[in-house]
């Protein structure tokens, strides 16, 4: 079994690739209508536990997970606030075992009728406990969730814990009168402690001195199971047979499989479950009813694409009740009540508008605090006002209305229309304790490795790894102990040799192609990594921008020459796009296939300029359009209501993809020419036609020229943009569309 974590950390450069892909996939026309079922009532029970009794380590993101789900269910899926019950450290009902069991029975079992929708979400620690009737080969344990009840009978022998086991959750879900049940568990049942910047949501075997004997559930847990079996008329033999067959009801979604790890991770100004944030942000961007199976496929592609960049192999676990069609239903068994959004207004106080930023990526939050503007949409998704952000605390922000005849109201959705990148974007790099006495030396070397020629400031934000600061990468040494740990956990990829210096992901996964020779000095390693760090910074900025909504009428596809798999893309997440079906499963492209890219400008009056980049998992970029460098501005132009195919068919060229893995195709369309960027690329190409590789040494200059072009086009495109902070690089969605499309080659 592979070693697995869940990825989606603040600023992880390529973690958003699959999500960007999903954002643009949803714009393609012609998706089949997913099966949707209207229901008279939608009930949810959301449980989050941050505070645990000693010695169980506290978590930091579980209350955020509850808020992530609450705002999504109420404002995106139309749940009534009174039908969503929250149990957490910060609520009136605390997260004890009995409170959760009582709430499940009173709020869900007793109220849900046939055809109703039920959602149960848990974020907190998981723990493996002894199973009297094991269902897994080679294991006598099963997973359980643990609340914040006081601990007793621990410290020796076989500790008995106040848990709710998988056996009980099976019976509780089975007791519901409806089959429209979604259970989400953001926890895991192996590991423990910290991994890089995150904390594992599990209790390690040795934490409570269980030793080889493991843990058991308290006697009350088994008594409850006997009562539930009797109430349902289910014999122990039939109970075991049903458990072996699968889950009991509806759809179950797990952030980590049994014996795998789920992380509680820091983001920019908040902590959250890596999986909960990934899932809910994805769902905010859905345009309409979508089968759970399609969501599973696209989320799997997202995490696999991230894996290709950072050797991370976790994929979410979706399970449907045997014989059911749950994977063919929407994920919450109800269609979204609205189209895509980045935020929702939660309250109004005087001229201050407070809103929840659940639909923005971590990359966007980290890089776009200089200037953010949103269009306020009414129930018909018509623009009624524009607000500008004044401050942000985690995922909650405050803004003020700056234009529009309508008045913002709670519940109205927001689409991001203008962003301002900070004047000196930085890559966040942590220095790991594995460097020992060389930590300070590494911090100093990295801090001086990339210094902006314009501002004189470092383009790397460097700090020691402390488990709380969000990071893009970690610089550390592969030790003999850690390498053995990875191998013991079933890590199947090629590992760096012992005593090599390397970049790691925030979850301490070795990053491909970043390690050098054995016993390399810190100074030599930092110098060697400079080009790669530059590329990773550029990728981080471009991926943050690719999440910005745009009103440009751009669409297209990547297709196989001569027939085969194709993949829609779009440069436009239209501000007022309505809810509609998204039901698309993507086939990987075959190795050796020849591909072309078709981009359509559907605006009957506006010419657009197109540039296209291909980025490999290591961050290396190649400009594939334009490729006629004697007159690149003319070559980049797409006339109104016309299309361009890259490469042009008359050239006889196509992209040939080989091997296996993932590539990112980034298309940039704009109302004005990217004059400075094209001039720089023309110099790199020495005016010879063809694709232009942008190496690490050229990438920072290319990024600076690109941001300058974005800023010039944006400030000249829309009235009122010119007064935005002059030190910020502005990107206006009415003038620029950036899409990021991930293709898989198999």
Pairing status of strand 383-393 against strand 371-377: antiparallel
Q: Which residues pair with 85 in a beta bridge?
A: 45
The domains of the chain are located at 37-328, 343-421, 427-542, 550-745
Pairwise CA distance, residues 338 & 415, whole Å: 12
Find the radius of gyration of the CA atoms of the chain. Answer: 26
CA distances from 603 to 255, 543, 717 (A): 42, 25, 16
Instruction: Give the number of residues written for the chain.
Output: 746
- Long-range contacts: 652-657, Cβ < 8 Å, 24+? 654/561, 654/594, 654/595, 654/596, 655/594, 655/595, 655/596, 655/597, 655/614, 655/624, 656/592, 656/593, 656/594, 656/595, 657/589, 657/591, 657/592, 657/593, 657/595, 657/743, 657/745
Both tokens of 475, joined, read: 């610089």
- Which tens digit of pLDDT belongs to each residue from 426-484? 999 999 999 999 999 999 999 999 998 777 889 999 999 998 899 999 999 999 999 98
pLDDT computed for residue 10 by the predictor? 25
Average pLDDT over residues 706-722: 77
**pLDDT tens digits, residue range 320-357?**
999 999 999 999 999 999 889 999 999 999 999 999 99
State in Å, rounded, how far the first CA of the chain is from the last one: 21
- Measured CA to CA, the distance from residue 518 to residue 108 in angstroms comes to 58
For residues 658-696, one letter each, b for 16 or more C-beta atoms within 10 angstroms of the residue's C-beta and e for the rest, the string is eeebbbbbbbbbbbbbbbbbbebbbebbeeeeeebebeb
Residue 161: strand, helix, or coil = strand
Residue-wise DSSP of 453-508: TTT--BSEEEEE--SSS--SEEEEE--HHHHHHHHHTT--SPPPPTT-EEEE-TT-
Arch. (CATH architecture) of 37-328: 3-Layer(aba) Sandwich (3.40)
Residue 305, pLDDT score: 54
Is the separation of the CB atoms in 37 and 525 below 8 Å? no
Q: How many angstroms separate the CA atoms of 27 and 6, rounded?
A: 27
pTM, two decimal places: 0.86
What is the per-residue pLDDT for 192?
Answer: 63
pLDDT recorded at residue 37? 40
Share of the chain above pLDDT 90, in %: 48
| pLDDT for res 519 | 94
555 has which bridge partners?
600
Give the confidence band of 724 by pLDDT, cuts at 50, 70, 90. low
pLDDT of residue 516: 93
Cβ–Cβ under 8 Å, residues 408 and 351: no
Tell me how far apart the alpha carbons of residues 734 and 714 are, in angstroms, rounded to a whole number. 8
Which of the 8 DSSP states describes residue 202? B
What pLDDT shows up at residue 365? Answer: 84
Residue 657's pLDDT band (cuts 50, 70, 90): confident
The Cα–Cα gap between 273 and 63 comes to 9
Q: Is 720 helix (H, G, I), strand (E, B) or coil?
A: coil
Place of tokens 């149990």: 87
Q: What is the pLDDT of residues 156-208, one digit of tens each?
A: 667 889 999 999 999 999 999 999 999 999 998 766 677 777 788 888 777 77
Mean pLDDT of 579-593: 66
Q: Give 229-237 contacts, CB < 8 A, sequence gap 24+.
A: 229/171, 231/175, 232/171, 232/174, 232/175, 234/171, 234/174, 236/133
- 577 Cβ neighbours under 8 A, 6+ residues apart: 27, 287, 339, 340, 381
**High-pLDDT (> 70) share of the chain, %:** 85
213 pLDDT band (50/70/90 cuts)? low
Assess contact for 166 and 258: CB atoms under 8 A.
no
Buried b vs exposed e over 74-87: b needs ≥16 C-beta within 10 Å?
bbbbbbeeebbbbb
Give the integer Cα–Cα distance in Å for 357 and 397: 7
Tokens at residue 713, please?
């086009």
Spatial separation of the C-alpha atoms in residues 66 and 554, rounded to whole Å: 36
Contact call for residues 464 and 446 (beta carbons, < 8 A): no
10 Å CB burial of residue 36 (0-12, 13-18, 19+) is: middle
So what's the pLDDT on residue 28? 30
């Amino acid at each position: 079994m592979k070693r697995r974590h869940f990825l989606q950390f603040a600023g992880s450069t390529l973690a958003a690739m699959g999500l960007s892909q999903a954002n643009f996939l949803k714009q393609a026309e012609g998706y089949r209508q997913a099966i949707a079922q209207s229901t008279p009532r939608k009930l949810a029970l959301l449980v989050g536990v941050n505070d645990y009794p000693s010695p169980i380590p506290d978590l930091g993101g579980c209350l955020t997970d509850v808020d992530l789900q609450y705002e999504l269910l109420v404002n995106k899926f139309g749940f009534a606030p009174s039908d969503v019950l929250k149990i957490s450290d910060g609520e009136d009902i605390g997260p004890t075992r009995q409170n959760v069991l009582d709430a499940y029975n009173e709020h869900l079992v007793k109220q849900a009728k046939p055809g109703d929708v039920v959602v149960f979400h848990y974020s907190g620690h998981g723990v493996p406990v002894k199973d009297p009737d094991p269902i897994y080969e080679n294991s006598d344990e099963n997973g359980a969730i643990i609340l914040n009840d006081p601990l007793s009978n621990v410290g020796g022998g076989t500790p008995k814990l106040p848990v709710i086991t998988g056996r009980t959750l099976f019976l509780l879900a089975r007791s519901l009168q409806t089959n429209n049940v979604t259970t989400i568990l953001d926890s895991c049942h192996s590991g423990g402690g910290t991994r890089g910047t995150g904390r594992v949501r599990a209790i390690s075997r040795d934490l409570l001195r269980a030793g080889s004997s493991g843990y058991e559930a308290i006697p009350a847990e088994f008594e409850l199971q006997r009562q539930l079996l009797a109430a349902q008329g289910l014999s122990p033999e039939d109970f075991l047979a049903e458990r072996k067959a699968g889950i009991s009801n509806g759809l179950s979604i797990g952030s980590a499989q049994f014996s795998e790890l789920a992380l509680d991770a820091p983001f920019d100004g908040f902590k959250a479950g890596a999986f909960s944030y990934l899932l809910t942000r994805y769902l905010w961007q859905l345009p309409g009813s979508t089968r759970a199976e399609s969501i599973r496929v696209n989320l799997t592609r997202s995490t696999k694409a991230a894996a290709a960049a950072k050797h991370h192999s976790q994929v979410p676990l979706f399970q449907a009740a045997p014989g059911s069609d749950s994977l063919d239903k929407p994920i919450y068994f109800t269609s979204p009540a609205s189209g895509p959004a980045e935020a929702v207004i939660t309250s109004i106080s005087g001229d201050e508008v407070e809103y929840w930023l659940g639909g923005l990526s971590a990359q966007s939050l980290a890089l776009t605090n200089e200037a953010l503007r949103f269009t306020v949409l009414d129930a018909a998704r018509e623009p009624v006002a524009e607000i500008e952000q004044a401050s942000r605390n985690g995922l909650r922000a405050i803004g003020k209305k700056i234009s529009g005849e309508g008045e913002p109201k709670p519940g109205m959705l927001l689409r991001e229309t203008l962003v301002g990148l900070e004047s000196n974007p930085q890559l966040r790099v942590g220095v790991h304790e594995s460097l020992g006495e060389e930590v300070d030396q590494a911090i100093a070397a990295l801090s001086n490795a990339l210094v902006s020629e314009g501002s004189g400031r470092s383009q790397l934000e460097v700090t020691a790894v402390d488990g709380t600061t969000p990071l893009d990468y970690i610089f550390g040494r592969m030790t003999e102990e850690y390498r053995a740990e990875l191998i013991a956990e079933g890590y199947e990829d090629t590992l760096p040799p012992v005593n090599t210096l390397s970049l790691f992901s925030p979850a301490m996964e070795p990053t491909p192609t970043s390690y050098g020779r054995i016993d390399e000095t810190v100074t030599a390693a930092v110098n060697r990594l400079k080009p790669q760090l530059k590329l990773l910074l550029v990728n981080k900025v471009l991926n943050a921008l690719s999440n910005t909504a745009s009103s440009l009428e751009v669409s297209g596809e990547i297709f196989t020459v001569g027939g085969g798999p194709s993949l829609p893309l779009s440069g436009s997440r239209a501000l007022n796009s309505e809810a509609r079906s998204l039901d698309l499963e993507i086939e990987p492209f075959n190795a050796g296939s020849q591909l072309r890219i078709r981009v359509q400008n559907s605006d009957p009056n506006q010419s657009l300029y197109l540039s296209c980049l291909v980025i490999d998992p290591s961050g290396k970029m190649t400009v594939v359009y334009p490729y006629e460098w004697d007159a690149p501005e003319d070559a980049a132009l797409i006339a109104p209501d016309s299309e361009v195919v890259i490469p042009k068919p008359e050239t006889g060229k196509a992209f040939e993809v080989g091997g296996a893995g993932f590539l990112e195709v980034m298309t940039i369309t704009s109302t004005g020419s990217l004059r400075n960027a094209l001039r720089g690329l023309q110099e790199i190409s020495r005016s010879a036609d063809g694709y232009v590789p942008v190496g690490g040494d050229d990438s920072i200059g290319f990024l600076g020229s690109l941001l300058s072009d974005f800023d010039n086009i944006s400030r000249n495109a829309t009235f009122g943009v010119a007064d935005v902070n002059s030190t910020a690089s502005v990107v206006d969605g009415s003038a620029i569309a950036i899409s990021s499309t991930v293709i898989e080659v198999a």
